[in-house]
Amino acid sequence: MNNQQLQELTEKWSMENFHRPFEHQIFFNSRLRTTGGRYHLNDHHIDINPLMYTEFDLANLKRVVLHELCHYHLHLTGRDYRHRSTDFRRLLARVGGSRFAPATSKAKTRRTSRHYWYYQCTGCGIRFARQRRFNTTRYVCRRCGHHFILKN
């Protein structure tokens, strides 16, 4: 599917579901990774993640486009277009758009193991782990007042 076919489908879906024309541009944006699409408030164009069509099917693409069209039509009519608004949720449920885009293969996976910095107090010997490194000469132990050493 190319951008012209996407434009034609979007215009058709807009008239079928919203009874209003889609008068701006929609196109695929391969730089989108974690989101299905994006509606731009300043010039009203819509970007769609091409993986919504290539990794899934046309029905999934339609649900993502309908989601973005909800933002589009609510914004142009002056109503609240944000995700948490009741106007948006009602319109999305009425037209059958998806609340969330499915995870794609390009989405970054969450790291399960994190790197920790291990410190020990020079006075009382207490040990603890931190995710962020800190200056051992600046901070002291709250138990005994001695400085820490980095134990990695």
Pairing of strands 117-121, 46-48: unpaired
Quick count: other Cβ atoms within 10 Å of Cβ 40?
A: 15
Q: Are 30 and 20 in contact (CB under 8 A)?
A: no
Nearest to 61 by CA among 72, 70, 71, 50: 50
Distance CA 92, CA 71 (A): 9
What six digits make up the tokens of 90? 């009602």
Instruction: Determine whether 68 is an active site residue.
Output: yes
Which one of the listed residues 8, 23, 55, 68 is annotated catalytic? Answer: 68
Q: What is the CA radius of gyration of the chain?
A: 25
Collapsing DSSP to helix, strand or coil, 87 comes out as: helix
Q: Which residues are catalytic?
A: 68
